Structure 1
C-alpha cells in the first residue's frame, strides 16, 4: 500500500483518531465527519484517522506515514476493553512515531449529554413508567462493563429515569433480556439509547430489538468532538492551542 508522507513538522503533536472499523459504509462516513468537526475546533492541529480493522487507513499505515513525529492516539471507543488495553498500545509501540495513547472516550458526562440529545431526536419524552436501555457492544473485561455502568448512571441522572445497560455480544443482559427485566418491574415505555460511536452491525441489531424508540449512534455530535479534544489534551497534560 502506498503511504503519503506526513513527516515531522514543528507544532503540536498530531491527533490520531483510532476507530474500530466496520463493514457498514455509514461508519466510515461518520468518523470522517467527526474528524472534520475536530479539525474545525482546532484549526492547524494535524488530525488523522486510523482503523483497528476492516477499514482503511489502518492504524499501522497512519502511524507509518507520520514518521518519527509526535502523536496522541485517541481511541473512539467507549470503555477499557481489549482494544484499548492491548491492541492500540501494541500498535503504537511498534511505530516509529513518538506516541501517547489517550483514555477511551467513556465514561464522561459529555457522552451522557450526547446520548440524551440523540434520544430527544428519536422522540424521547419521559412518561409514567418509562425507562431506557443503554445498548453497548459488550466486552468480557469487567472494567469495560464498569465503564458502561458508569455511563448508565450519568444518563439516568440526566433523564431522571432508570437506565439499564445491555449488550450486543460477550456480556449480559442482551437488549431483549433487559426489556423483559424492565417490564417485570412495571416499566411500559422502554427506549434504547445506542451507545455506539458509529453505525454498524451491533447498533442496527440493538435498535431492531427496541420495543419503543431507538436513538441514533453518538456519531459526529459537537460534544463528541469536544470530548476528543479533551482526551487529547488530557493525555498531554496541558491544553494545546494550534496555530491557524
Structure 2
C-alpha cells in the first residue's frame, strides 16, 4: 500500500542551523556597537584633579658630583611614575633653592625630604619654607629613614662595593649618617641600623659624621674589639659630599658609595609621597612594613 502524501500545510517547517557560541557573541557585540554609535553623552565630564607636585628636597653640597647624583635619582622617580610632576629644591649650596622652587609653583605640593631622619631641617626648615609660600598648599612627607626599602638600597650599595653575599661571623657594618643634635634623628638612624642588621644577619652599629656620637672611627674600634675584624661602612647619604667623603676616609676597608639613584631609593621617594596622599593629615610613622603602594 502506498503511504498517503501529507498536505503541505502539515509539513514541519525547516529547522535553522544552530549558531555557535562564538558567532552568537560576535553578533551581540556587533549589535551593541551599532547601537552605541548613536548614543550621545550630555553634560560636562568631570576631569581628575592634577596630582600634587612632588618636590624633592635635597640638602645641597659644594661637591660637583652631588647635583648630578640627585638629578639621576629624580630621573628614576619620573620613570617609575610617568606624568607625575617632580621638582627639585635645595636647602642650601645648590640651585634651585627650595624657596625658588616653591615660589614657582601653584596648587598643591608634597615635599619629600631626601634626608634620613627627623632632624632640624625636616622639623623646622621645611615648615618655615611652606609658611613663606602662602599661595601654595603644601604638605611634608616623612624622611626616607627608617624603612626596609632604605635597608635594601644600603645593602645594594654594599654589594656593589664588594661586600660578600654570604659574609662570615667576623664581618660587621658601620652605618654612617650626617648626624644631628635631635634625639629623634638619632633614633631614626639607630632604627635603620637595626633594619640593615636584620637584612644582613650581622651586627650593624650606627655612627655619625658630625653633631653626634659615636664617630665612624669609634664605631669601627668598638666592633673590632668584639672580634669583628672585617668591618665595612655604609652611608645614609643621597649624594657625594663632605660627610660622605669623611665617612669613606674613616673606613678601614670597604666603603659603600652614596645611594644616589638606587632603584629601591626611588621607590621609597614615591612611597613617602603616596603616604601623604593616603593620610591627608600627614604621616609620621616608623613602620617597618614593605611599601605596598604601586609605583
TM alignment of 1:147-186, pairs within 5 A:
147-186=188-227
Distance 1:36 1:132 in 2: 30
Distance 1:186 1:222 in 2: 34
Q: Is 1:20 aligned to residue 59 of structure 2?
A: yes
Q: Deviations over 1:138-158 (max 9, x none)?
A: 011000000000000000001
Distance 2:110 2:272 in 1: 9
- Select the residue among 91, 94, 111 that pairs with 1:73: 111
Does the 8 Å CA contact 1:42/1:241 hold for their aligned counterparts? no
- Select the residue among 261, 272, 285 that pairs with 1:231: 272
Does the 8 Å CA contact 2:169/2:202 hold for their aligned counterparts? no
Question: Higher relative contact order by CA 8 Å / sep ≥ 6: 1 or 2?
Answer: 1
Q: Deviations over 1:177-217 (max 9, x none)?
A: 11111111111100001211111010011101111100001
Task: Rate the CA distance shift 1:83–1:33 in 2: closer, same or farther, 3 A.
Answer: same
Residue 10 of structure 1: how far off its partner (Å) = 5.0
Does the 8 Å CA contact 1:92/1:99 hold for their aligned counterparts? yes
Runs of at least 5 residues in structure 2 that lack an aligned partner in the other structure: 1-47, 280-291
Residue 241 of structure 1: how far off its partner (Å) = 8.9
Q: Is 1:122 aligned to residue 122 of structure 2?
A: no
Q: Secondary structure at the match of 2:168?
A: coil
| Aligned residues between the structures | 233
Determine the structure 2 residue equivalent to 1:33. 72
The TM-score with structure 2 as length reference comes to 0.76
Does the 8 Å CA contact 2:153/2:262 hold for their aligned counterparts? yes
Distance 2:161 2:79 in 1: 27
Does the 8 Å CA contact 1:12/1:240 hold for their aligned counterparts? no
- Select the residue among 70, 73, 82 that pairs with 1:43: 82
Any runs of at least 4 consecutive aligned residues in structure 1 with deviations exceeding 6 A, and if so which? 238-242
Determine the structure 2 residue equivalent to 1:61. 100
Distance 2:199 2:294 in 1: 31
Q: Deviations over 1:8-43 (max 9, x none)?
A: x95111110000000011111011011111111111
Runs of at least 5 residues in structure 1 that lack an aligned partner in the other structure: 1-8
The TM-score with structure 1 as length reference comes to 0.92
Rg comparison, structure with higher value? 2
Residue 56 of structure 1: how far off its partner (Å) = 0.4
- Select the residue among 118, 126, 129 that pairs with 1:88: 126
Q: Secondary structure at the match of 1:25?
A: coil
**RMSD of aligned residue pairs (Cα, Å):** 1.7
Q: Is 1:110 aligned to residue 145 of structure 2?
A: no
Residue 218 of structure 1: how far off its partner (Å) = 1.0
Q: Deviations over 1:203-237 (max 9, x none)?
A: 01110111110000111111111111111110111
Determine the structure 1 residue equivalent to 2:185. 144
